[in-house]
Amino acid sequence: VQEINQIYLIRHLKFLFFAIVLGFIFLQTFKRTEDQKKAFYIGSIGTITFGIFSIIYNLTGFNVAHDLRLVGPMDGAVSMAFYLTPFAIFSIIEFLENKERKHLINAIALILLILATRSMGAILAIPIIVVIYDTLNKKFIQTKVGKISTIIVALLLLVTVTYTKIITTIQTDYSSLDERGQIWKTTTYMLRKPQNLLLGLGFGQYEEHYRRTVDEALKGVPILDRNNLHANNIFLLFLTQYGILGLTFIILLGVITVKKIIKNPSDPTPFMILYFFIHGLIDSPFFKNDLLILFLIFTLMLTQDQSTQHKDPELLQLRKPTKRRSRPKTKLSSRLQRF
């Protein structure tokens, strides 16, 4: 029988409980699509406010990262990026759909905050999602200016990733890519046991198992991180937490996300979930903190059938077809019908 770290279990159950409750409250409060978009707009403003607070918080000497990335009161710059980026994607898509200045202002502010986190996963995911959105909707990139802008942004991102990640990995003994390589190797080592592969390591037990296994999994290799909190991959995350059922769930969620994007490419919600998949290939912190709330709200919204979403009853009453009153038949009309 595997030992269970009760503190980690309680912490994860706490966030899961509040995520389910708040997700249910959100969907019951904002039943119409337009109401949900208004809620996300308010959420975008709240996220920007939190980002400004985080800058002040770090500049005044609290929770300062060693590499001076924007962290705020959260446990890492990646968590901050996961919190900011879905609302940035929402603001970008809403601006491209409606051309409203308020969404453009929010998008610019959120992108600047994301750049301050220096999270390459988030910085790369945003243009990838915008390109997918634009390809399906033919909004901007198909124009000459759009093509030139896309090439410039792609080159800037390529240079940035090469300089900050690839060259660092080649020239030094430590980089985030080296660290992730060790995490993935240790995780797959733990999953070699049939019991772990089928049932997972236990909800909230990854950190405990990693600490006990990393020396055995990485024999003869300098260990870069002995206390890792998560698997740094969304598929490994669900596999280690819930076993084969968790992996099946996240694969099905990915399929549903793609289908929703193809069916309604102007809806920002599936693109917000898609971000979790893209960035989740190299990071996955949303089981150990309140980011799980966002992930679950987006997931519940995704599973809603747009055709069955509640609509304004007053509008439905106005659109309801009225029955024509039948005119009383006269003797002449009756004779004509018989004729």
Tokens found for residue 50: 């939190």
pLDDT at 194: 93
Each residue's pLDDT, cut to its tens digit, for the chain (339 residues) gives 456 788 888 888 888 888 889 888 998 999 888 999 999 999 999 999 999 999 999 999 999 998 899 999 998 899 999 999 999 999 999 999 999 999 999 999 999 999 999 999 999 999 999 999 998 998 777 777 777 877 888 888 788 777 776 676 667 767 788 899 999 999 999 999 999 999 999 888 898 899 999 999 998 888 888 888 889 999 999 999 889 999 999 999 999 999 999 999 999 999 999 999 999 999 987 766 678 888 888 888 887 754 444 444 444 454 455 455 555 555 444 544 454
Give the predicted TM-score (pTM) of the model.
0.85
Buried b (16+ CB within 10 A) or exposed e, 186-222: bbeebbeeeebbeebbbbbbbbbbbeeebeebbeeee
pLDDT at 327: 54
pLDDT at 313: 47
CA 69 → CA 119, 190, 230, distances in Å? 9, 32, 20
Q: Which of 234, 226, 236, 240 is nearest to 254 (CA)?
A: 234
Question: Cα–Cα distance between 107 and 99 in angstroms, integer?
Answer: 12
pLDDT at 316: 43
Tokens found for residue 150: 């896309």
Length of the chain: 339
Q: Which of 186, 192, 240 is nearest to 215 (CA)?
A: 186
